[in-house]
Amino acid sequence: MRHPSLPRARRRVIGALTAAVLGAGGLSVPAATALPQAPGTPGAAPRAAVPERAPALPPAPAAGAEAPAATPPMGFNNWNSTHCRADFHEAMVKGIADIFVARGLKEAGYTYVNLDDCWALPERNAEGKLVPDPVRFPNGIKAVADYVHAKGLKFGIYTSAGTKTCNRAGFPGALGHEYSDAQQFADWGVDYLKYDNCNNQGVDAKLRYTTMRDALRATGRPIVYSICEWGQNKPWEWAKDVGQLWRTTGDISDNWGSMLSIMKRNLPLAPYAGPGHWNDPDMLEVGNGGMTDTEYRSHFSMWSIMAAPLLIGADLRKVPESTFEILGNREVIAVNQDRLGKQGTVVSSEGGRWVVAKELADGSRAVALFNESARPQRIATTAQAVGLAQATAYKVRDLWRHGSAHTAGTLSATVPAHGTVLLRVAPERAWAVLPPSMELSAEDNVMAEATSTGRLTTAVTDLGRTPALKVAAALTGPQGWTVRPTSPTARRVLNGGQKLTTGWEFTVPAGTAPGSYGLTLTVTHRSITGTRLTHSAPAAVSVVVPPPAGRSYLSDIGWLSAVNGFGPVEKDRSNGESKAGDGRPLTIGGQVFAKGLGAHASSTVEYYTGGRCTTVSAQVGVDDEKGTRGTVAFEIWADGVKAASTGVLTNAMNAQPLTADVRGAKAVRLVVTDGGDGIDSDHADWADLAIGC
Ligand code: GLA
């Protein structure tokens, strides 16, 4: 039912009227425009900054037409690479459109070329219309949109559901100008609007975002509508019929911690996503330089399996070739763009080992084995656990290595630190023609002192139903290390389910600095059909220094590893939740401690003791900085033995002494658990933490 909407001229007048009212600094609104009031101001004088009222009923989307954004939108947005810097301009945007075509990204599905904040001048013109910045966009916005359209691509723009956009310079927002601005966008040929949340004047979010939806509909032009209120008003609960996507979190930045925390907040929202209504964990950072390629592959894998919009945020005119390999991976994109439109869900998550699975339209499952931790880990699941029906065997496609194998049911890999193995798995009748899936693994937690000899065990397992032939394993260390096997490295026939275990001895050269060092396990084999295959997997050795004799504070000694529930573990500070060094003095029950660790449940900090230490002691408790809700329990482990623990401690309690006998242990682990009620407010202090050796 399409309403013959008001003549365009009349709509402009209303928009201009509202603008004039706003411009006059909050005079009352003329009765003729009858603007809706913000909630919470019943009977009060109308606020100046309120959404425009619909001049006519918006046309509903045509019945039977394909839903907009039936799969997650793909494209580009300049924000993550340029912010408001001067290198955001017409030539850049056109350059991206050119590259989309030239480098096959358009072909791969990237469609939208979108502008973010700072494209406009700070003031509207006399008619209340938005004015493109003549320095950045000397030919106006329509010219850029036309250029993008001529390439067969679509064009997007940005504004805020507030009086001004987010940038400090204060560009005009659309609150109170919705119909006028939407029409201006439509006249320019805009196909996508990102609608931000800054300077919203406290007006109800549903009202603000719904008004713009109606304004966009009233233009008659199909415009994908991206709600950007950062998850503040739980848009997943109400925006399904408002926009096609909604941000679920604050802004991403180009580092592992930011990407990880956003991922963790977006994952539980899976039930709310579907065709035409997607959770948006913000735009991609792939290619911007703040993460390694391994981390960028993880970022791209997880955004794909979460059915997130894939908006490239790097200036593609300047990125290394590896960026194109990541963003252009068609097999990964196919997971994201699968027409069933399900967001992947968490199958298991423990010790930084995540298994996330996404049901796909052809009945198969995409499976991400995501390693949050800073060392290689074996991550495993089964075909059954990811929701597949019982079958003799399954096809396993590795979407980054582009190889296929079969498995009897186990899905497993040793995943590099911060890495992701992304698989596509389905029951397979012709499994016998595929080589068996081979699991490579290496002993975890191996430690060695410099100049010493260490030992390490590796294994290769045939996970399939056919034998692997002529299996041979090799282990290589970093430059200057020597590595030699202490048991057989080869097997003529390794049957399905069998494992070849090899012991290795290595030497760490003198002068090697403490830290984690990578080794590589390489395995070659032949399948029964004669194909020769090579696999590799990472291993890690921690080079350690023995703790000094006598009593030392552990915060003065380097740890082997530290995992924390929120932000980094702090030395001699409480846990500030985001950056290193952002905590406060360690304080328990009003008592301040100069030395110790500031942790947050769930946390594990590990130290090398090399069998030379006797006791670990501390004063433990919940830091005063977090009100009354924190509950935690502390544990000290000597190798695999729990040597001391507290019960559940609360904010109300003073520091408790905790001492553990750690004699003979090669390593000690300091563990904080959440007290059984989740990690909220669990700031855990290991005050006065000392070791005797
Ligand atoms: C907000 C948004 C960002 C970006 C900026 C622009 O922070 O969340 O994605 O659009 O505004 O100023």
The answer on pLDDT for 19 being more than 50 is no
Q: How far apart are CA 478 and CA 448, in angstroms?
A: 14
The answer on pLDDT for 137 being more than 70 is yes
Task: Provide the CB-side half-sphere exposure for 7 (13 A, CA).
Answer: 3
Q: How far apart are CA 161 and CA 172, in angstroms?
A: 10
Q: Which residues contact 287 (CB under 8 A, 6 or more apart)?
A: 296, 312, 313, 314, 315, 316, 319, 320, 323, 326, 327
Q: Which residues contact 601 (CB under 8 A, 6 or more apart)?
A: 565, 632, 672, 673, 674, 675, 679, 682, 684
Q: How many residues comprise the chain?
A: 693
Specify the residue for token string 């956009």: 165
Mean of pLDDT over the chain: 91
**Token pair listed for 72:** 């997650």
- Spacing, Cα 202 to ligand 1 middle (Å): 18
- Spacing, Cα 251 to ligand 1 middle (Å): 7
Residues contacting ligand 1 via CB (< 6 Å): 79, 116-117, 165-167, 196, 228, 230, 251
User: Of all protein residues, whose CA lies closest to atom 11 belonging to ligand 1?
Assistant: 166
Mean pLDDT of all residues in 22-33 = 29
Mean pLDDT of all residues in 46-59 = 60
Mean pLDDT of all residues in 268-297 = 98
Ligand 1 nearest atom to the CA of residue 158, by list position: 10
Torsion angle of alpha carbons 115, 120, 126, 127, nearest 10°? 10
Please name which of 212, 153, 204, 162 lies closest in space to residue 49, comparing C-alpha atoms: 162
- Spacing, Cα 229 to ligand 1 middle (Å): 10
User: Of all protein residues, whose CA lies closest to atom 5 belonging to ligand 1?
Assistant: 166
- Spacing, Cα 599 to ligand 1 middle (Å): 31
Tell me 277's DSSP state.
B
The answer on pLDDT for 479 being more than 50 is yes
Phi/psi for 521 (5° steps) reads -95, 125
Mean pLDDT of all residues in 118-146 = 98
Q: Give the pLDDT of residue 48.
A: 52
Could you tell me if residue 418 is left (phi over 0), alpha (psi between -120 and 50 degrees) or otherwise beta? left
Q: How far apart are CA 302 and CA 415, in angstroms?
A: 14
Can 251 be counted among the known catalytic residues? yes
Q: What is the pLDDT of residues 201-220, one digit of tens each?
A: 999 999 999 999 999 999 99
β-pair partners for 448: 543
Tell me 36's DSSP state.
P
Phi/psi for 39 (5° steps) reads -60, 155
Worst-scoring range by mean pLDDT, 222-226, 468-472, 511-515? Answer: 511-515
Q: What is the DSSP string of 116-145?
A: -S--B-SS--TTS---B-TTT-TTHHHHHH
CB 60 within 8 A of CB 213: no
Q: Give the pLDDT of residue 337.
A: 98
User: In b/e form, how buried is each residue of 161-176, taking b as 16+ CB within 10 angstroms?
Assistant: bbbbbbbeeebbbbbb
- Spacing, Cα 282 to ligand 1 middle (Å): 10
User: Of all protein residues, whose CA lies closest to atom 9 belonging to ligand 1?
Assistant: 251
pTM, two decimals, is: 0.84
CA distances from 281 to 76, 310, 336, 622 (A): 15, 10, 14, 32
Worst-scoring range by mean pLDDT, 121-130, 268-277, 298-307, 626-635? Answer: 626-635
- Domains along the chain with CATH numbers: 8-336 (3.20.20.70), 345-434 (2.60.40.1180), 439-544 (2.60.40.10), 551-692 (2.60.120.1060)
Residue 530: Cβ-neighbour burial (10 angstroms; 0-12, 13-18, 19+): exposed
Angle at 520 between CA 438 and CA 544, to 5 degrees: 130
Specify the residue for token string 């658990």: 673
Q: Which residues contact 200 (CB under 8 A, 6 or more apart)?
A: 160, 161, 162, 175, 208
| Catalytic choice (116, 117, 191, 196) | 196
Choose one of 196, 227, 282 to mutate for the ligand 1 pocket test, by most ligand atoms within 8 angstroms of C-beta.
196
Choose one of 116, 199, 230 to mutate for the ligand 1 pocket test, by most ligand atoms within 8 angstroms of C-beta.
116
- What is the percentage of the chain residues whose pLDDT exceeds 90? 83
Helix (H) or strand (E) holding 536: strand 532-544
**Token pair listed for 270:** 């899976």
Checking DSSP bridges between strand 245-247 and strand 224-227, what pairing results, if any? parallel
User: Of all protein residues, whose CA lies closest to atom 6 belonging to ligand 1?
Assistant: 117
Task: Provide the CB-side half-sphere exposure for 244 (13 A, CA).
Answer: 27
Q: What is the pLDDT of residues 53-102, one digit of tens each?
A: 766 554 555 544 567 999 999 999 999 999 999 999 999 999 999 999 99
User: In b/e form, how buried is each residue of 445-467, taking b as 16+ CB within 10 angstroms?
Assistant: ebbbbeeeebebebbbbbbbbbb
CA distances from 60 to 2, 64, 194, 218, 652 (A): 7, 12, 20, 9, 57
Q: How far apart are CA 87 and CA 494, in angstroms?
A: 58
The answer on pLDDT for 621 being more than 90 is yes
Can 196 be counted among the known catalytic residues? yes
Torsion angle of alpha carbons 595, 597, 600, 601, nearest 10°? -120
